[in-house]
Amino acid sequence: MLQEIFLKKNQKKKINLLDFDLTKMTNFFLKMGEKKFRAIQMMEWIYKKYCIKFNKMSNFSNTLKNKLNSTSIIVLPKYVKKIKSLDGTIKWNFLFNTEFIETIYIPEKKRATLCISSQVGCVLKCGFCATGQLGYTRNLQVSEIIGQIWFVINKLNQYKLKNLILPTITNIVMMGMGEPLLNLKNVIIAINIILSKYGFNFSKNKVTLSTSGIVPAINKIAGKIDISLAISLHAPNNHIRNMIMPINKVYNINLLLLSVKNYLSKSTANRGIVTIEYVMLLNINDSLHHAKELVCLLKDIPCKINLIPWNPIKNSLYKCSTYNRIINFSNYLKNKNFIVTIRKNRGSDINAACGQLISK
């Protein structure tokens, strides 16, 4: 019994190597008295060869394997459920203690987007969002953020061996559960791993972080990380934004757009353009008058506007704008020379569409 407790305690102390980017991995190996290049070898085992068993890492001596076994582990989030939508979207559920998070794989003909979560729940309580209704439980660790990507890529590789060929992941969006900029420390390391040639090696144009507008965090990452930025604006003025997104009372639209300009001035990702997300809520923010206000607001922001038909959630008084209103809104903006896209509704039959993510 005592021995068991001791073992459990010891196991707890082990470091999960999925929490490390190359810098942290290098420090880890140096501290063990090993050479720097071992860190690159470890990153290659994990992110190139998709091997997470120390005993199979053939260029490590037995002594090193033993050292690794006694100090560290490589553990993925525990996968519990996969649900497939009629349109091919797949929702993967991962379990952490008693909590679930969700990762959404959205295939198209030749590409696929993976939508990953950064927190369990969200503290910000936007009125139109299911994750907001859920409340906040905790931040995800780097290994839990990165583990979502590792797991799905590895699964796709396994499917391929069985001749089930699904498009490989070409884009990663941090648009799942949670507000990534409220988990900044871990999200920065996760982004390093996603972009690094010793990690998943994604181009900065193919990785997007969506935020509701945590202004100090946007200013903090400006010039430090460079990926595509998406801003959940959703309203053409502070009055409406205060109503639907409480965070606006802390960081209003003017402050938010200033921080976006600051970010863009230091970014080359996505050709220096920010994506403005705008959820279409019937009779709340979707009239031509609102479109006109939006044009004024965004006139000197290099941006693309992504109109998001609102996905219904439980116990909500909102309704999605009608198709006609969305098209009219879009045409108005296009006539003012904005690039406008209307987001396709994917995975709504399995509650995997934007804003429907809720851990059950």
Which residues are identified as catalytic? 102, 354
Contact 102, 92 (CB under 8 A): yes
Residues annotated in the binding site for S-adenosyl-L-methionine, as ranges? 178-179, 210, 232-234, 311
Give whichever of 143 and 356 is closer to ligand SAH, judged by the CB atom. 356
**Does residue 256 belong to the site contacting ligand SF4 (CB under 6 A)?**
no
Q: Candidates 103, 131, 139, 141: give the one binding ligand SF4 (CB under 6 A).
A: 131
Torsion of CA 143, 147, 148, 151, to 10 degrees: -170
**Does residue 340 belong to the site contacting ligand SF4 (CB under 6 A)?**
no
Contact partners, residue 136, CB within 8 Å, separation at least 6: 119, 120, 121, 122, 123
Q: Candidates 129, 134, 184, 188: give the one binding ligand SAH (CB under 6 A).
A: 129
Q: Interacting stretch for ligand SF4, rule CB under 6 A, among 57-65, 117-125, 293-301, 326-334?
A: 117-125
**Does residue 41 belong to the site contacting ligand SF4 (CB under 6 A)?**
no
Instruction: Characterize the bridge pairing of strands 112-115 and 119-121.
Output: unpaired
Interface size with ligand SAH, residues (CB under 6 A) = 18
Q: Interacting stretch for ligand SAH, rule CB under 6 A, among 162-170, 189-197, 209-217, 253-261?
A: 209-217
What are the structure tokens assigned to 32, written together? 């063990």
Residues annotated in the binding site for [4Fe-4S] cluster, as ranges? 122, 126, 129
What is the pattern of x (binds ligand SF4, CB under 6 A) and - over residues 171-200? -------xx---------------------
* Rounded Cα gap, residues 310 and 303, in angstroms: 21
Strand partners, 210: 230
Q: Candidates 74, 188, 276, 308: give the one binding ligand SAH (CB under 6 A).
A: 308
> Per 3-state DSSP, what percentage of the chain is helix, strand, and coil (rounded to 5)?
45, 20, 35
**Does residue 212 belong to the site contacting ligand SAH (CB under 6 A)?**
yes
Task: Tell me the closest approach of the beta carbon of residue 214 to ligand SF4, in angstroms.
Answer: 9
Contact 193, 21 (CB under 8 A): yes
Inter-axis angle of helices 22-31 and 37-47, to 10 degrees? 130
**Does residue 248 belong to the site contacting ligand SAH (CB under 6 A)?**
no
DSSP state for residue 110 in the 8-state scheme: S
* Rounded Cα gap, residues 185 and 189, in angstroms: 7
Q: Candidates 25, 57, 90, 126: give the one binding ligand SF4 (CB under 6 A).
A: 126
Site for ligand SF4 in 216-235 (CB under 6 A): 232
Instruction: Characterize the bridge pairing of strands 99-107 and 136-139.
Output: unpaired
Give whichever of 76 and 123 is closer to ligand SF4, judged by the CB atom. 123
* Rounded Cα gap, residues 301 and 293, in angstroms: 14
**Does residue 285 belong to the site contacting ligand SF4 (CB under 6 A)?**
no
Cα→Cα distances 261→12, 14, 102, 242, Å: 44, 42, 32, 21
* Rounded Cα gap, residues 337 and 170, in angstroms: 29
Residues annotated in the binding site, as ranges? 122, 126, 129, 178-179, 210, 232-234, 311
**Does residue 102 belong to the site contacting ligand SAH (CB under 6 A)?**
no
Q: Which does 155 bind (CB under 5 to 8 A by kind): ligand SF4, ligand SAH, none?
A: none
Residues that bind ligand SF4 in the complex, under the rule CB under 6 A? 122, 124-126, 129, 131-132, 178-179, 212, 232
Residues that bind ligand SAH in the complex, under the rule CB under 6 A? 122, 128-129, 175, 179, 210-212, 232, 277, 279, 308, 310-311, 313, 354-356
